[in-house]
Amino acid sequence: MADMARSPWHPAVASWSRRWGAWLQHTALWVWYHTFYANHRLAALGRLLKMLACGQFSRIREKFRQRAAGTALAVYNCPATIVRHGPPLHLAGHIHGHGGYDHLVAKTLIGLTNAGVHVFRDARAFMHRDYVPPEYAPSERMYDWRSPRLAVIPPYLLYRFKPGPATAAWTMWETNQLPAGSVKYLNRCGLVLIPSRWGMETFRANGVRVPMEVVPLGYDPEVFSPRQPGCGPELCTFGTAGALDEGGLRKNVQRVIDLFLLAFPRQRDVRLKVKITPRSPMVNTHGDERIEVVNTGLSPLALANWYRSLTCYVNASYGEGFGLHLLEAMGCGVPLISTTYSAVGEMFDSRVGYEVGYTLIVAHNRIYRGQWADPHNDELIARMREVYADRTTADRLGMAAAQRAPLWSWDASIRRLMQALVQHGYLPAGFQPPLLRAAA
């Protein structure tokens, strides 16, 4: 009996060995998580001191607000009747506003949940209750490196989520050169999803070697629906939008204002509407009463009405990773004035708006490097004058834009996302939600 007790095959010893092995595995995972994945205190302190030194006090307040929101998911008031049994997927990305990546993360959360996926919030993702419907509140569970995860984040911030083979990244960029250091973390992922063919070629040219798939973004056709024929603004009205800090500077909002004044120095029957983000510094309208500036947050319905109040949308951006605001304008029946550089050229051309030439220039920006497109000022002015002189053609191009836009709906986007996740093993091979069955 003693010999049997000492044998590694004795049932009691084997059971003890399994428990000991499981404990070691759990301990190793805990150490890995807190060493490489959890917030690094010294790094966080360094970022705090840097923001203090630069006087970025409002940004510090925002960081603390985000953290408080991210750790208080109980206040979502998710209905107790909601029970989820689908395949698990962690979602890494922030939701603390309406626009940009926040909008993409929110739409991803809603779309995956509707498709039957059990979405868990990544521990480092901040999801503010004001922008997450209670019925879509993600579940809570500590992430470990073996679980499938979708990170919806700019490439230069991907490192914060410590990606590994189980991470798929849905991301994009606006120049032909990716941010310094981002390629290393992209190549640690098991899959990279890009909204455009142009973007995928750019990522590949920068050295991204892991599997990649094109998964376009989308818009809500029910919200951003076209206005009725003949219901456009009484006066010829141009519009442009964007942020005036960091990455948003590439939108060239101030440049559109200045070119508008050059195009119409004395005409009184023309207007320009400008939409900037609430935290942007104010643009310079040069005291011209024909220019209206909105610097408050707009709900999707209000934003759609803002688009529909335009005769034409002017895009002077240096580059777009996708161009969601352009797609929304098209969906509302508004033609574009734009270059076809970057991802924009995959949904926009002269059949739905007014093309503008450009010159590739070196990007000089705190965030961007490489090259992007500088629209030709004389052509921007000429196209605005063309719209002003011929509203009939502008309306016809707007109708063509509204017919093309639904090719990029959010339903189509989530369907393509699901197909990519199933194809690459982030969701079970046999998982066939209604979205995929409808596409089959």
DSSP sequence for 355-423: E--EEEEE--SSS-BSEEEEE-HHHHHHHHHHHHH-HHHHHHHHHHHHHHGGGGBHHHHHHHHHHHHHH
Domain-embedded: residue 430: yes
**Residue 62 falls inside a structural domain:** no
Please report how many Cα atoms fall inside a 13 Å half-sphere around the Cα of residue 227, on the Cβ side.
Answer: 21
Maximum C-alpha span of the chain: 105
* 84 and 200 together in one domain: yes
String of DSSP letters for 16-62: HHHHHHHHHHHHHHHHHIIIIISPPHHHHHHHHHHHHHTT-HHHHHH
Least confident of 84-88, 136-140, 276-280: 276-280
Residue 211 forms part of a structural domain: yes
Is residue 55 situated within a structural domain?
A: no
Instruction: Return the CATH number at 271.
Output: 3.40.50.2000
Query: Alpha-carbon distance 266 to 99, whole Å?
Result: 35
Each as own residue / partner, the long-range contacts of residues 393-396 (CB below 8 Å, 24 or more positions apart, any chain) are 394/311, 394/312, 394/335, 395/229, 395/230, 395/232
The pLDDT of residue 99 is 78
Are 78 and 121 within one domain? Answer: yes
> How far is the C-alpha of 261 from the C-alpha of 263, rounded, in Å?
5
Residue percentage of the chain with pLDDT more than 70: 80
pLDDT at 360 over 90: yes
The answer to whether residues 87 and 119 touch, using CB atoms and an 8 Å cutoff, is: no
Q: Are residues 81 and 178 in the same domain?
A: yes
How much is the CA Rg of the chain, to the nearest whole Å?
25
Pair (299, 416) in one structural domain: no
Taking the C-alpha atoms of residue 276 and residue 243, their distance in angstroms, rounded to an integer, is 5
Task: Kindly state whether residues 388 and 245 are assigned to the same domain.
Answer: yes
Q: Which one has a higher pLDDT value, 265 or 47? A: 265
Same domain, 204 and 317: no
- pLDDT at position 364, please? 82
Does residue 200 belong to any structural domain of this protein?
Answer: yes
In a domain, 6, yes or no: no
Average pLDDT over residues 293-300: 90
C-alpha span between 255 and 152 (Å, rounded): 30
Helices 391-404 & 377-389 angle (0-180, nearest 10): 110
pLDDT, greater one: 204 or 143: 204
- The answer on pLDDT for 39 being more than 80 is no
Q: 118 in a domain, yes or no? A: yes
Helix (H, G, I), strand (E, B), or coil: what is residue 152? Answer: strand
What confidence score (pLDDT) does residue 270 get? 98
User: What is the CB neighbour count within 10 angstroms for residue 59?
Assistant: 12
- In this prediction, residue 35 has a pLDDT band, given cuts at 50, 70 and 90, of very low
Q: 375 pLDDT band (50/70/90 cuts)?
A: very high
CA torsion, points 75, 80, 83, 84, in degrees to nearest 10?
-10
pLDDT digits 0-9 by tens, 396-425: 999 999 999 999 999 999 999 999 999 999
Mark whether 291 and 242 lie in a shared domain: yes
Domain count, the chain: 2
Taking only the tens place, the pLDDT of each residue in 64-118 is: 544 443 344 455 677 777 778 899 999 999 998 777 899 999 999 999 999 999 9
Residue with tokens 């050295």: 207
- Same structural domain, 390 and 426: no
Same domain, 355 and 334: yes
Q: Which comes out higher in pLDDT, residue 198 or 128?
A: 198
CATH number of the domain that 171 lies in? 3.40.50
Structural domain range at position 371:
236-399
Q: Are 428 and 422 in contact (CB under 8 A)?
A: yes
The answer to the question of residue 196 being in a domain is yes
Question: Residues 126, 128, 132, CA angle at the centre, nearest 5°?
Answer: 115
Q: Are residues 357 and 214 in the same domain?
A: no
| pLDDT beyond 70 at 22 | no
Q: In 3D, which of 95, 60, 108, 2 has the Cα closest to residue 416?
A: 108
- Say if residue 299's pLDDT is above 70: yes
Residue 4: pLDDT band by 50, 70, 90 thresholds?
very low
Whether residue 367 sits in one domain with residue 287: yes
pLDDT tens profile 225-275: 998 877 889 999 999 998 776 555 789 999 999 999 999 999 999 999 999
Are 209 and 174 in a shared domain?
A: yes
